[in-house]
Amino acid sequence: MQIISIRKGFTADHSSTSYEFLAVDTPLEQEARDAVSSLSSRAHPSRRRVDFTYNVDGYDIPGGWEPLLKDYFDVMYSESYDWWTLGIAFDISSKEQEEELVEYNFRGTEDLGVDIEIEDGRAIISIYACLDYSYLAEPNQDWSVFGNQDLDYESEDYLLTLLTAARKQIMNGNYDLFYAIWKVYGIEDYPLDKPDDYDKSDFVIKAFASILDCPF
């Protein structure tokens, strides 16, 4: 696990659309960074991260954010007018895992929920949510939840690190995260069996559940 630094707070500009991307598994080589930076004159990717901000309605990442998760990055978050998209991507380990994952697609309250797509052996998980800012602010950022996760890379951004930890759990076949999201936004019966040990879920799942908020 490598900790680069600790961010001194969390802010979001509610009048713009912003993105933060992180490469967890493989740092970006120069060719990849050039390709990413070509998408915006204001994007200056490092070997691990890049951010995009658009202050005018109608402007966005050319081609959307999904191709960036498919080709270069592993987790991301986007905030636009208090609505959030959280992205997780990884290479599928087996056909069985692919079949398991697609069962967790759902949309609930205000069309919030989970979309899972598999393309060329790579899963792209889109989580549409509202987040509770009080849990994202620095005084409430509990970095100790990552202490026993054995993460290969830990960002200085709390939310990116939380997504990185959740990603590792999903990759290892622990899908409790999807149930935690359904508990907040689901409006129909849960389509799958409730995890028997959900109440004993580890600190990462509980931390993720704590940041989810309803829009009303």
**pLDDT tens by residue, 104-156:** 999 999 999 999 999 999 999 999 999 998 888 878 888 988 988 889 898 99
Structure tokens given for 139: 């005084």
Tell me how far apart the alpha carbons of residues 63 and 67 are, in angstroms, rounded to a whole number: 7
Segment 58-94, tens digit of pLDDT: 688 999 999 999 999 999 999 988 899 999 999 998 9
Work out the number of other CB atoms within 10 angstroms of the CB of residue 190: 13
Longest CA span, the chain: 49
Q: Which residue, 94, 52, 46, 42, is CA-closest to 76?
A: 52
Per-domain residue ranges for the chain?
17-213
Percent of the chain with pLDDT over 90: 65
The pLDDT of residue 16? 81
Percent of the chain with pLDDT over 70: 90
User: How much is the mean pLDDT over the chain?
Assistant: 87
Tell me how far apart the alpha carbons of residues 183 and 186 are, in angstroms, rounded to a whole number: 6
Q: Are 1 and 24 in contact (CB under 8 A)?
A: no
Return the DSSP state at 110.
G
Burial bucket for residue 11 (CB in 10 Å: 0-12, 13-18, 19+): exposed
Return the DSSP state at 154.
B
**Mean pLDDT on 167-185:** 93
Work out the number of other CB atoms within 10 angstroms of the CB of residue 92: 18
Question: How far is residue 180 from each of residues 69, 88, 100, 206, measured CA to CA in Å?
Answer: 23, 16, 17, 8
Segment 17-68, tens digit of pLDDT: 899 999 999 999 999 999 999 999 889 999 999 999 988 776 889 999 999 9
The pLDDT of residue 2? 35
pLDDT confidence of 8, banded at 50, 70, 90? Answer: very low
Work out the number of other CB atoms within 10 angstroms of the CB of residue 23: 22
Tell me how far apart the alpha carbons of residues 41 and 54 are, in angstroms, rounded to a whole number: 12
Long-range contacts of 30-39 (CB under 8 A, 24+ apart): 32/71, 32/72, 35/72, 36/68, 36/72, 39/63
pLDDT at 12 over 60: no
Q: What angle do CA 192, 101, 173 make, to 5 degrees?
A: 90
